[in-house]
């Protein structure tokens, strides 16, 4: 991933900045400029909305054939999380006990390293999920 491509999304990746449709109230992450439900009516009304970072696991998998940046963590666990705001996000699950992973598991977003360009290159940070205490 190139530097500008990552830099452009820093607010989304670090802080979970999404949008809310001013017409129907549906929340989206990442931000969209048009609500797929309201389309024309939503233009200019997609307002910034922070995803607080709490939610529940709706599905999960343990990855044994990793993405290159995640090799040192394999096997690692990916989860899809339904956030309290109603929007769903995909991310890695960290700091958990394997036997406790399952549907409805309550998780919170934390900032972690996602990868790096190279040992001398830029480091990418972004959200991951961990069990709520």
Partner 1 sequence: MMRKVAIIGIGETKIGELWESSLRDLGIQAGLEAIRDAGITGEEIDKIYIGNMSAGRLINQELIAPLIADYVGLCETPSVRIEAGGASGGVALAEGYMAVASGMSDIVVVGGAEKMTDVGDEEARNILCSTADREWESVFGATFDSLYAMMARYHMEVHGTTREQMAHVAVKNHYNGARNPNAQFRREIAPEMVLNAPPVSTPLGVFDCAPLSDGAAAVILCPGEMAESYNGKPVRLLGFGMGGDHIAVHDRREMDTMRSTSLAAEKAFCMSGKEPGDMDFAEVHDNYTISEIMAIEDLGFFAKGQGGPATLRGDTALDSKISVNTSGGLKAKGQPVGAVGINQAVEAVSQLRGKAGDRQVKDAEFGLTHNLGGTGGCAVVHIYGRWE
Partner 2 sequence: MKTKTKVGIRGYGGYVPGFRITPREIGAVWGKDGEMMGAALGIRGKSVPAPDEDVVTISTRAARWALERSGLNGDRIGAIYVGSESHPYAVKPTSTMVGAAIGATPHMTAADYEFACKAGTAAIQTCMGLVASGMIENGIAIGADTSQGAPGDALEYSASAGGAAFVIGGERLLAEIKYTTSMTTDTPDFWRREGQTYPSHGGRFTGQPAYFKHVMGCTSKMMDELGMEPSDFAHAVFHQPNGKFPMNAAKKLGFSREQMETGLLVTRIGNTYSGAVPLGLAAILDIAEPGDNILVTSYGSGAGSDGFYIEASKNIVKVREDGVPSIQEVLRDERHIGYAEYAKYRDKIRKGG
Contact residues toward partner 2 (CB under 8 A) are 10-11, 14-15, 72-73, 92, 94-95, 97, 110-114, 123, 125, 128, 133
Is 69 near partner 1 (CB under 8 A)?
yes
| 9 and 31 Cβ atoms separated by less than 8 Å | no
Q: How far is the CB of 97 from partner 2 (least distance, A)?
A: 8
10 binds, among partner 2, partner 1, none (CB under 5 to 8 A by kind): partner 2
> Position of tokens 């048009």?
34
Q: How far is the CB of 24 from partner 2 (least distance, A)?
A: 26
**Stretch 8-47 residues interacting with partner 1 (CB under 8 A):** 9, 30, 36
- Number of helices (H), then strands (E), belonging to the chain: the values are 2, 8
Which listed residue (27, 34, 38, 80) binds partner 1 by CB under 8 A? 80
N residues, the chain = 133
State how far the Cα of 64 lies from the Cα of 49, in Å rounded to an integer.
Answer: 35
State how far the Cα of 46 lies from the Cα of 88, in Å rounded to an integer.
Answer: 18
* DSSP state, residue 85: T
Q: How far is the CB of 111 from partner 2 (least distance, A)?
A: 4
Q: Hey, is 47 helix, strand or coil?
A: strand
Contact residues toward partner 1 (CB under 8 A) are 1, 5, 9, 30, 36, 58-70, 75-76, 78-80, 88-92, 103, 114-115, 124, 126-128
């Amino acid at each position: 991933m190139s530097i500008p491509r990552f830099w452009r999304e820093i607010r989304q990746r670090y802080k979970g900045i999404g949008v809310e449709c001013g017409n129907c109230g549906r929340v989206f992450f990442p931000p969209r400029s048009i609500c797929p439900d309201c389309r024309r009516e939503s233009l200019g009304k997609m307002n910034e909305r922070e995803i607080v970072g709490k939610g529940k696991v709706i599905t999960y998998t343990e990855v044994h054939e990793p993405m290159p940046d995640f090799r040192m963590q394999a096997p690692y666990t990916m989860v899809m999380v339904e956030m309290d705001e109603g929007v769903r996000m995909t991310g890695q699950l960290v700091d958990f006990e394997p036997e406790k992973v399952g549907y409805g598991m309550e998780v919170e977003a934390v900032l972690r390293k996602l990868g790096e360009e190279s040992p001398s290159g830029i480091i990418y940070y972004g959200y991951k999920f961990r069990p709520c205490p």
